[in-house]
Amino acid sequence: MDERVLDKLKILAESAKYDVSCASSGTSRSHKKGQIGSAEGWGICHSFAEDGRCISLLKIMLTNNCIYDCAYCINRRSNDLPRATFSVTELVNLTIEFYRRNYIEGLFLSSGVVRNPDYTMERLVKVVKDLRQVYRFNGYIHLKSIPGASQELVNEAGLYADRMSVNIEIPNEQSLQLLAPEKDFQSVFTPMRYIQQGMLQSAEERKKYRHAPHFVPAGQSTQMIVGATSDSDKDILHLTSALYKRPSMKRVYYSGFVPVNGYDNRLPALKQPPLVRENRLYQADWLLRFYNFKVDEIVDDSYPDLDLEIDPKLAWALRHPEAFPVDINRADYEMLLRVPGLGVKSAKMILTARRYSRLGTSHLKQIGVVLKKAQYFITCNELPTRTVNEIKPENVRRILTQRRATRVDDGQLIIPFVY
């Protein structure tokens, strides 16, 4: 491989590492005769397939040159750092060569903005178009849409990309104006709307014509930076909830603010990214998407920020002891989802299993219920009645947080998911 291209690769792969808005593909396009690659059952960004395989993709920028001077961005124009730009041909050849060597299964492509949004977007579209039409590449492609790009270019990109994303970055427009005065919410939400319109139109066309082309079949995603501004978790989650009401929005990603530009006085002086807060936001996001929670149940004016010691579902349960204990053998699905220690899968299994017999602790263990947490919030055949109401919420919290602290001291892994 050309040494000059390798030098560009090192620079542009490093510049792309702060964008986290990528995950499993969300599409199932299988291998086709005469084409190379497949997106069937695959994830990206070192995610895992159903059979346990770790899947990788080339996460790269077309260029790290940028006309904007955003305070939080490592690639801002005022930073003195190595700059590089791939030509369309170089990036296409690099992707195909890496795929043929079995280094990658897909591409995540973003870019700094050079000249103007349309010029940059046109080059990005040319990359994915050449991969699809010239090289018949059938693997997964996630393409970042450039804020401010024209509808024509966004529509063309959607014909070749599996997923597209437009990063909001800062969840409050006033804060965005402070840290990135050359940007505004309109430039972000307009291409989001273009993508949504394209997806809805494509769905209607496919109802009439079976072979009508897909448009962004894996939907769109976005990313918000956490900790760069004073926005509360309540502000962030209300914006997240509004985004999920759009039929095209599949994922909202949260990125703990990394102080890469410590010299800028507009930014907070953090020693390390707020990773625990980032993790709690992902857990709250999970509650919104799969557990039928509303934002105001997770955070409100009294609790505008998520509890960093305990997960948001446990925090809600401790604030509402009157809702417990839940009878495992009688409660409906929605209430089972509210029980700490029960996940979506275990709640569905409980509904199925109790058709045949009354459930006890042995059954719940087999189903996979985390009884160390759930025991304070449920009743069943063999379970004693010392629930959250008898022990008191503050004591349950102390018991569970002490147990967690012990596990940390023992060096054991704590799974960062909500159950």
Going along the chain from its start, the domains and CATH numbers come out as 3-273 (3.20.20.70), 312-409 (no CATH)
* Average pLDDT of the segment spanning 91-118: 91
Please tell me the pTM assigned to this model: 0.86
C-alpha to C-alpha distance for 197 and 202, rounded to whole angstroms: 8
Spatial neighbors of 182 by CB under 8 A, at least 6 apart, are: 67, 68, 69, 70
Assign 379 to helix, strand or coil: strand
Phi, psi (rounded to 5 degrees) for 194: -60, -45
Residue 221 pLDDT > 80, yes or no?
Answer: yes
Higher-confidence residue of 384 and 170: namely 170
Residue 105 pLDDT > 80, yes or no?
Answer: yes
Record the tokens describing residue 405, joined without a space: 């602290």
Which segment of 13-17, 170-174, 397-401 scores lowest on mean pLDDT? 13-17
Record the tokens describing residue 104, joined without a space: 């990658």
Specify the amino acid at residue 112. G
Note the pLDDT tens digit of each residue in 36-59.
554 443 333 454 443 454 557 788
Is residue 308 a contact partner of residue 280, using CB atoms and an 8 Å limit?
yes
Residue holding tokens 């209430």? 335
What does the mean pLDDT of the chain come to?
A: 87
Which segment of 47-61, 98-112, 184-198, 271-285 scores lowest on mean pLDDT? 47-61
Residue 409: pLDDT band (50, 70, 90) is very low
Residue holding tokens 């989650």? 237
Residue 271: pLDDT band (50, 70, 90) is confident
Q: Identify any residues that bridge with 60 across adjacent strands, giving them in sequence order.
A: 109
- Residue 272 Ramachandran class (φ > 0 left, ψ -120 to 50 alpha, else beta): beta
Pairing of strands 249-256, 220-226: parallel
Higher-confidence residue of 415 and 174: namely 174
Residue 390: pLDDT band (50, 70, 90) is very high
Note the pLDDT tens digit of each residue in 143-171.
999 999 999 999 999 999 999 999 999 99
C-alpha to C-alpha distance for 247 and 128, rounded to whole angstroms: 24
Record the tokens describing residue 413, joined without a space: 């892994």
C-alpha to C-alpha distance for 228 and 314, rounded to whole angstroms: 27
Higher-confidence residue of 34 and 8: namely 8
Assign 45 to helix, strand or coil: coil
